[in-house]
Amino acid sequence: MNWRKLHYLLLIITLVIVTACYRHSHPNLVDKKSPASECRLIKHELGETCVPLNPQRIIVVDQIALEALVALDLKPIGTANHVFFDSKANLLKEKIAGISYIGKTGEINLEKVLQLNPDLIVSVYGIQPENYPLLSKIAPTVQVKHFQSDWQTPLREIGKVVNKIEKVEELLTQYEQRFQTIREQLENKFGKLEVTVSRIHGGMKVPEFSSQFSFPGGIVHSVGISMPPHQRQLIKSPDDYLIILSLERLDLLDSDALFIAVDPGAIEAFQEYQKTPLWQTLNVVKNKKVYQVDSGYWVHGSILSANAILDDLVKYLLTSNKV
């Protein structure tokens, strides 16, 4: 038996034991499966799920789903945290006050999920297919498809799941009007501007830069900002949404401006990079146009993160006198 099958078997055994113990301690716990007349059948990445018409106790197992629900004026009762990059806490603030944490994405505490007694579990990328049956035994579970640069599609799919389609389109219309205005302002001020979108990874402790096929790179590209030519030539397909760099290739980060998201676990690594002679030779460093930004919304996200990135572009490129 390989390790994946063993891991899956242990998860099933754990869920059976935890469910039995919890239901024994809570004999009045009702079955989460709603009658057909009280739910809607939703097709999604992992199957078909009959979703409650008006879910009251939603758990999200990744923070993109958390952000999407908060944007739709819904407050989940539980969420998972990121493994490496910043959480959405700085972005969402009081909107997620009191939410319970159920572990980290990919490392969900099933007992905690069961104790929260959810009536719906929602995900964008946080559920492995082999774990879907386990969570489905606790509550109706839906996972929408995750795209790197196309964050609008999963937002629309989540809107369908929670019956907030009109709210989604309202938010997207407002966003489109905003980025078009910012695009015009940037063009009027700079004409042409080349910007690097980078991150220091909290796990590997190495720098990378993001292409137009990534979440942050796609947003920056949409407002008319280009990648430097020396970066563009390394992008061969939409699968190249980020390029990992070695210390010897820090020169690839050079541009008119550099937005760099530093994961919590990579702060010391970034400080060491800044001390290297190669870093000091970058024109973007000499010109003091390096902007350290929050990895909680500059790596992955939904509409609130997209708007926060626009805020940073306005703050550092349009409002600041540094560029």
Q: 3-state DSSP call for residue 255?
A: coil
Is the distance from CB of 197 to CB of 220 less than 8 angstroms?
yes
Q: Is the pLDDT of residue 261 over 70?
A: yes
Backbone angles phi, psi at 271, to 5 degrees: -60, -35
Distance (Å, whole) CA 245 – CA 114? 42
User: Going by C-beta distance under 8 Å and a sequence separation of 6 or more, which residues neighbour residue 273?
Assistant: 200, 207, 247, 250, 279
254 or 4, greater pLDDT = 254
288, containing H or E segment: none
Distance set, CA 278 to CA 28, 42, 64, 230, 256 (Å): 65, 53, 35, 17, 17
Give pLDDT, residue 35: 46
pTM above 0.75, yes or no: yes
Express each pLDDT in 211-252 by its tens digit.
999 999 999 999 999 999 999 999 999 999 999 998 889 999
Report the mean per-residue pLDDT for the chain: 88
Q: Is the pLDDT of residue 274 over 50?
A: yes
